[in-house]
């Protein structure tokens, strides 16, 4: 198994993978919500329960 700790059993690895997959899906949803708000021309929006501020000319 390619995991950072040798005491990991197959079930432990499976649970960690499921949590990581869920986290990735949540991040993707938040990003899509922000992009949709930006496309709609919103200056600020509430997406996924978090306040998101969109700045047009932000310095890189």
18-22, 31-35, 47-51 — which one is most confidently predicted on average? 18-22
Q: Whole domain around residue 34: which residue ranges?
A: 10-53
What is the value of pTM for the model shown?
0.55
The answer to whether residue 34 is domain-embedded is yes
The answer to whether residue 38 is domain-embedded is yes
Average pLDDT over residues 6-21: 88
The answer to whether the CB of 38 falls within 8 A of the CB of 31 is: no
Q: Give the SS3 label for residue 51.
A: strand
Q: What is the pLDDT of residue 10?
A: 86
Specify the number of domains making up the chain.
1
With 50 as the cut, is the pLDDT of residue 19 above it? yes
The answer to whether residue 4 is domain-embedded is no
Mean pLDDT for the chain?
75
The answer to whether residue 35 is domain-embedded is yes
> Across-strand partners of 44?
53
With 90 as the cut, is the pLDDT of residue 29 above it? yes
């Amino acid at each position: 198994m390619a995991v950072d700790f040798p005491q990991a059993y197959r079930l432990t690895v499976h649970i960690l993978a499921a949590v990581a997959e869920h986290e990735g899906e949540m991040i993707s949803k938040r990003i899509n919500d922000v992009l949709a708000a930006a496309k709609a021309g919103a200056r600020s929006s509430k997406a996924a329960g978090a306040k998101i501020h969109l700045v047009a000319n932000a310095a890189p």
